Structure 1
Amino acid sequence: MDGDVGSTGNGRVVSVNVGRRVPRRRASLPSTAIDKQPVDRIDVRDPGPKRGGLGSGAVGDEIGDPRHHGGRLQAVYAYPAEDRQWWAEQIGRPIAAGAFGENLTTEGVEMTHALVGELWTVGDAVLRVEVPRIPCATFAEHMGVPRWVRRFADEGRTGAYLSVVTPGTVEVGAPVQVERPDHDIDLVTLFRAFSGEAEVMRRVVAARVIDAEVQRDLERSLARRGG
């Protein structure tokens, strides 16, 4: 990063949520903890690597499929109440806080265009914006909406996966102070790169602002495509 381009502090946490593992409809599939339920507060910490780590960065939150969820870069998932309400209007039914699997439901926090590497001070914790959410079959099954994966991907309202820079406690009502880095790679751009748009992949790789692990994965994907 070349520094930050300013701080904002108008957002807040309107719900904190944790989930417990439950069986999927098909016994052969991994269990799921996507349906998070509100609690008063959560302690957040770096859970370590995806394999062999603690799973979720939110203490008391469970991970149904640790092969694909949890770990350092997906320690805490945040989703804006504004986008949840937008989706509720699209599908014609209410969506409760935590129903998207988010640990933090926010208000007044820009998320689709959150910049990779943003630092969020929430309570006494500091979180870092890392990667967008990639919709999966578990999410689609949970929502029960036709073509949900495609619809969610097309809209680009992905929410933000966060790493934990400084552990702490996050309570309902906590303000969110955002420090933005000096580049233009936001979550929707990174999502497009993950979706295989070659020109966007090249742009993201050239910027060198994403986590080193993600950088290597995108570089390998580009190499397989012939650059």
Structure 2
Amino acid sequence: MPNLVSVNIGVPEKIDAKAGLTGIFKRPQSGSVQIGAEAVIGDAVLDRRHHGGVDQAVYVYLNTDYDWWTQELNAPISPGTFGENLTISEIIGDNLAIGDRFIIGDVVLEITCHRTPCRTLAARMGDAGFIKRFLAAGRSGAYCRVMTTGAVTAGDKVEHKPFAGPRVTVAELMAHEGTRELDADYMARVLATPVHYKMRQDFEKRLAKAE
């Protein structure tokens, strides 16, 4: 059964990619960490325009994808490197879809969207081309909303509960990012899932204009 490899929290730190501070440098915690309604308690979320909030309260990355990156980069990568709050074992990224849930003790998380790489991640990795590399890999991890709050600890068991509705994988959503002309049936399928509210608004407007 999958488990929490680590629970990661960041504090404000400087980075070359921006004049201000970042919370991307997240480090594994040894004790219990509280998951709040809109964030992991104690975690630094500084760019509120692109991070945090109800539909991006928790960022999850998979240990299986870290294994892939270790081979791709020919260097070990430790949990928290990509700025995720929770690193989970065993689950394969291709199996994650919008609306899927992670159940960790009392905590229930629901996947809302993929992660879009940015200059801060590229600076974190010391590679100006890492944005394109991350997109091409299709291994984005997943942002989640918090359905039920509670405490989690590294080593906790994780249940992956698939969404009962239309299957829109996180990788599929990521692959369509930046596409100007999207198929109406695809957008309708996405809207039948509990997708991130910003994407919902965008797709609803697109479909309304097409009518």
Does the TM-score normalized on the shorter chain lie above 0.5? yes
After superposing on structure 2, the runs of 4+ consecutive aligned residues of structure 1 that deviate more than 6 Å are none
Q: Matched residues in 1 for 2:184 and 2:47: separation? A: 27
The answer (yes or no) to whether the contact 1:112–1:159 under 8 Å persists in 2 is: no
Q: Are 1:29 and 2:13 an aligned pair?
A: no
Deviations 1:151-207 (A, max 9, x none): 110111000111110001111111111221232111111112333163457403344
Counting only pairs closer than 5 Å after superposition, residues 46-195 of structure 1 correspond to structure 2 as 46-47=37-38, 57-182=39-164, 183-195=166-178
Equivalent residue, structure 2, for 1:210: 194
Q: Matched residues in 2 for 1:90 and 1:172: separation? A: 26
CA RMSD of aligned residues (A): 2.1
Q: Matched residues in 1 for 2:107 and 2:33: separation? A: 11
Where does the alignment leave 5 or more consecutive residues of structure 2 unmatched?
none
Call closer, same or farther: CA 1:109–1:212 in 2, change over 3 Å: closer
Q: Matched residues in 2 for 1:133 and 1:99: separation? A: 14
Q: Matched residues in 2 for 1:84 and 1:111: separation? A: 11
The answer (yes or no) to whether the contact 2:59–2:142 under 8 Å persists in 1 is: yes
Q: Are 1:45 and 2:72 an aligned pair?
A: no
Counterpart of 1:85 in structure 2: which amino acid?
Answer: D
How many residue pairs match? The answer is 207
Call closer, same or farther: CA 1:108–1:197 in 2, change over 3 Å: farther
Q: Matched residues in 2 for 1:201 and 1:139: separation? A: 32
Call closer, same or farther: CA 1:159–1:14 in 2, change over 3 Å: same
SS of residue matched to 2:2:
strand
Q: CA deviation at 1:30?
A: 3.5
Scaled by the length of structure 2, the TM-score of the pair is 0.89
Call closer, same or farther: CA 1:76–1:212 in 2, change over 3 Å: closer
Scaled by the length of structure 1, the TM-score of the pair is 0.83
Call closer, same or farther: CA 1:168–1:32 in 2, change over 3 Å: same
Q: Matched residues in 1 for 2:170 and 2:184: separation? A: 13
Q: CA deviation at 1:216?
A: 1.4
The answer (yes or no) to whether the contact 1:111–1:160 under 8 Å persists in 2 is: no
Counterpart of 2:111 in structure 1: which amino acid?
Answer: V
